Chain A
Amino acid sequence: MPLPQIVIDALINIVGDQWVKISKAERETYSSDGLPTLRSLPAAVVLPASREEVIRVVRVLAHHDVPFVGRGAGTGLSGGGLAGPDAIIISLTRLNCIIRVDPVNQIAVVEPGVVNVRLTEAVQDLDLFYAPDPSSQTACTLGGNIAENAGGPHCMKYGVTSNHVVSLEVVLPDGKVTRLGSDSGQPWGLDLVSAFVGSEGMFGLALEITLRLLPAPKFVITMLADFVSMRDAGEVVTEIVRSPAVPAALEMIDQNCVKAVEESIYSAGFPTDAAAVLLVEVDGHSEDTVDQEAELVTMILTEGRARSVKVAQDSASRERLWHGRKKAFGALGRISPDLVVQDAVVPRTSLPDVLEEIAAIATRHDVKISNVFHAGDGNLHPNINFDGQNPAEVKRVTIAASEIIATCLRVGGTLTGEHGIGIDKKRFMTDLFDKDSLSAMMAVRRAFDTKGIANPGKVLPTHSCSEWKPHSTVATHR
């Protein structure tokens, strides 16, 4: 259904002609996100410049019942930032101000379009940092991080996005503006901040985000351990986490991924003959304590049959290791036309078995799978390289991805740890949740979005939900 001209005119009136994109070529830019297998051309794209403009845009769309999709940098990996042909994308990248930094209370107030890494850069002179650090942190926005409840390697020690959001000012899909939570981080009534974080843009748009900052650790030691057996690497993860050491990060990279990194401009010195490498970081405020933690971790790695354990000797070496880790997706992306990045979480002790099963799935379906992931949290990222122009290969990739998910669920895992459900995994939600639980999620969604116009069609397989009408008569069964 074409967008009514009256809506386009109203949007142009708010943001100006150049910030409403209606030509096909301009809309193409927004037709996909970080997930290459899905494309959808939005009806239009609007780029407001301020909080006030966002509110006015949402009010116009709500008035005309036009669905909309909030979007940050478009780095999402589950198709959550795609809009259907009847929906408008509201790009929030122009709202990129760090409004206020409060070093006394260790909080920052930001607009949703601020790029993740810019916040830590802005506060590092105050010896503070913002902990959640997704691999896309040089591009992804904090508003997008809120929508997806983003994680990252250092979330193992410091927690995911929802552990760092103090309060939010949001515009609800009906255009009403409200503040959720309080400046102290204490809920004001029900904990609506926690509900909003990770709602994948289906509860409204964050206008102002108050985030917790942490004192930057004074001492950091990063270690690289390599293993000739993937199973050994998987098993040692549990030993480290079960020990008194509290690593800031514990990442695993398998041989396929190591090779891709080492053959790219992101080469980090990972040994290409290893079955897997572990990147372990300990940090803290006392040099002695950090040294002792590193010694303990080294001992566990060695006892766990690590072939070697190398310690980054300076910040440049450390940065090189992390660059290799965080750009691994980029390195994988260059070896085939398309790459699908999977995301699932399993109990840590299942890692060795699940990794072997993933390897078997790769062989069975003749697909190339590389693993680079947050081992300390049991958060897997199996990446599948393929050629999207080859229908037979696409079919094999789709089947392999489904089998990986089924394997993870079978051991008590979940569908996604940090990338979200979006469109990509919606079909699997019924494997994890029963009808009543999905209906409850639908009810939460409707409490925030009475019209169902914010990012419709994501997360919930609506055919599996029964809508809970207020004051409905409940059937009784005896």
Chain B
Amino acid sequence: MTLHPTSPDELALILRDAVREDKKVSVAGTGNWSPTEGDLAISTDRMASITELADRDLTMSVEAGATMDTLHRRLAAVGLWLPCDSPGGDRSVGSIIATGTSGPLADSFGPIRDQLLGLTFVTGNGRVITAGGKVMKNVAGFDMTRLVCGSFGTLGIITDAHFRLRPKPQADCTLTARPHHDTAWDIWRTVTQSRTSSACLLNPGSGKDKAQVTVRFTGSVNAVQSRRVELEEANNLDWREEESGGYWGDHSRAVLANPISLTTGSSVSTANAVTTAIDDLLPRGSAWVQRNLVRWAGAASVKELQIFRRTMSESGTPVTVERAPWGILKEVGVFGHLSPETRAVTERLHDSFDPNKILTAGGVFVTD
């Protein structure tokens, strides 16, 4: 059964009833972004309004059921921008925040948590919680906004979000090149370290495939032009200009065309080793390298995912399985191994916010 609450208070009543009746609750969404087993499903489709667009204050409040595409369209109409290109523009804002999914623009604008000013969410014990606010800086109380972002629904169900916005950039230029593997890595390192681009994405390819490096510049017309000239002069390559909206939409769809996607932490000096491990251990898929993470999308068995995560763990690298068929996710878990102390803190949080464990039927904290 799927329920469609229209307000946080309604959702709170539903969750309190679920506790009383010992029912498990999942959030109905699309595309395996959250666990799907449960006695009840909650859809946020009736909480999908843009409740406030303060265009001169550069803030926006939205209900969690609104899709990211809806937000982008509304903002574009008034010359504003939310630099968030998480895979799946048709996903709800709540889903993107709950899974902490960031796209290539996180390279320069930070992950989705950096765009958030505040949240309302309902805990597993049916309490409506207000976190943060609507202003640019806020240290009043503990930062539950960033804690809930990326918690994969374990602490509560998000109902409202407040974002900071930016003026829409005058120019938005995406350039791609397909150089030799080593050259592609050199360009990626140089551009990433210089922090002159809004995004720099490397698809190292595999086997005989040439690597592909994609650089996105945003800003004033002159700034974008000067960075473009700088890039083209520094690398004697055949750079091809892409239409930004179309290109990044295609990239997002390429990620989602696969049944599984995961992210691993990485850095300028470790990214190459991470992609080598992916080549060795997760051969049926593609990897895209960003400043601080490598996203892989493809097909893999539970065993392959477990071995990959264990290998990464040994080098101090977290692997977050952000999306997988439920049968796989419930075996490998979203997060995998945590240190005993971190695990203890996490469990205490989980115990407080969802004491009767109604919100997830597993699948987040499973360890191999």
Contacts and interface: CB of A to CB of B under 8 A. Distances in A.
Chains A and B come from one and the same complex: yes
Interface of A: 102, 104-107, 148-149, 151, 155, 159-160, 162-163, 172, 176-180, 182-192, 194-195, 197-199, 202, 214-215, 238, 241-244, 246, 284-286, 288-289, 292-293, 345-349, 374, 377-379, 412-421, 425, 429, 432-434, 436-441, 443-448, 450, 459-460, 468-472, 474-478
A194 B116 CA distance: 13
A374 B355 CA distance: 42
Nearest to A170: B341
B19 A286 contact: no
B183 interface: no
Interface in B102-159: 110, 113-114, 123, 125-131, 133-144, 146-147, 149-151, 154-155
Interface in B19-45: 19-20
Interface in B290-333: 292-293, 316-318, 320
B345 A448 contact: yes
A466 to B, nearest CB: 10
Contact of A414 (B140, B150, B268, B316): B140
A184 B141 CA distance: 27
25 contacts: A105-B268, A177-B341, A182-B317, A186-B318, A190-B346, A191-B146, A195-B142, A243-B167, A285-B196, A292-B223, A412-B135, A417-B138, A417-B139, A432-B140, A433-B140, A436-B129, A440-B131, A440-B352, A441-B142, A441-B144, A443-B349, A446-B348, A468-B352, A471-B356, A474-B19
B317 A444 contact: no
Nearest to B15: A474
B348 A459 contact: no
Given A178-B341, A436-B129, A447-B348, A286 B140 contact: no
B57 A349 contact: yes
B210 to A, nearest CB: 25
Contacts of B195: 214-215
Nearest to B315: A183
Given A180-B342, A421-B140, A446 B352 contact: yes
Interface in B247-280: 263-270
B194 interface: yes
A470 B226 CA distance: 57
B167 A377 contact: no
B56 interface: yes
B76 interface: no
B349 A447 contact: yes
A430 to B, nearest CB: 11
Task: Pick the 6 closest A-B CB pairs, nearest first.
Answer: A184-B265, A194-B146, A178-B341, A186-B265, A417-B137, A470-B351
A187 B150 contact: yes
Contacts of A182: 265, 316-318
Task: Report which residue of A105, A450, A460 has the largest number of chain B beta carbons within 10 angstroms of its beta carbon.
Answer: A105
B220 interface: yes
A178 B110 CA distance: 25
Contacts of A432: 133, 140-141
B339 interface: yes
Contacts of A345: 135-138
B7 interface: no
Most chain A CB neighbours (cut-off 10 Å) among B142, B193, B338, B343: B142
B274 to A, nearest CB: 9
Interface residues of B, number: 86
A416 to B, nearest CB: 5
Nearest to A440: B129
B339 A244 contact: no
A163 B139 CA distance: 13
Nearest to B335: A189
Given A183-B265, A417-B135, A476-B17, A437 B292 contact: no
Contacts of A377: 136-137
Contact of A470 (B123, B263, B348): B348
Interface string B193-234: 111100000000000000000000001101100110010000
Contacts of A189: 318, 335, 338, 342-343, 346, 365
Q: Which of B16, B125, B170, B343 gathers most chain A CB within 10 Å?
A: B125
Contact of A191 (B13, B113, B137): B113
Given A177-B341, A443-B349, A437 B131 contact: yes
A241 B223 contact: no
Contacts of B226: 286, 288-289
Given A439-B127, A472-B355, A197 B136 contact: no
Contact of A468 (B125, B150, B317): B125
B305 to A, nearest CB: 17
Contact of B355 (A188, A198, A417, A474): A474
Contact of A418 (B17, B137, B292, B348): B137
Given A199-B142, A288-B222, A440-B123, A185 B345 contact: no
A444 B167 contact: no
A147 B90 CA distance: 38
B360 to A, nearest CB: 13
B353 interface: yes
A319 B335 CA distance: 47
